[in-house]
Structure 1
């Protein structure tokens, strides 16, 4: 695979992973706001907070993967 095509592939992957991270982060914020509403039963809040933590971990891992591809792009440009 030519270097330019590989660099383009890495850039696209980094952009995709950043998008995934943003979506998961937005979803976790939306769900967290939902826990602040008094209409949710307290026993359901525990599960919802667990889901929020899982979404935040997923968002962080996707952001880390995007950073790995960005580092690869910077290293190949040097």
Structure 2
């Protein structure tokens, strides 16, 4: 059981890290869309990509919460 708890804790930390990286990349790209140098026709694709990154970040945060919840239930 202790081995499984350790795995869950590691997975939760990894998923949080993945989500944080995706969130940081999406913010960086969004700031890039605010600059006037980008071509308007390319901004649309960039915004779609940003939305995909944010959905990925949300998914990874949800996975991390799942493992954290499993850890808390196992401790009880």
Q: Which runs of 5+ in 1 are unaligned?
A: none
**Which one of the candidate residues 59, 62, 66 is aligned to 1:64?**
62
Partners of 1:48 and 1:77 lie apart in 2 by 44
Q: 4+ residue stretches of structure 1 with deviation over 3 A?
A: none
Q: Take 1:76 and 1:34, find their aligned partners in 2: how far apart are those partners?
A: 44
The answer for unaligned runs of 5 or more in structure 2 is none
Alignment of 1:1-78 (within 5 A): 3-78=1-76
Give the Cα separation in 1 of the matches to 2:74 and 2:9: 12
Q: CA deviation at 1:55?
A: 0.1
Question: TM-score, normalized by length of structure 2?
Answer: 1.00
TM-score by length of 1: 0.97
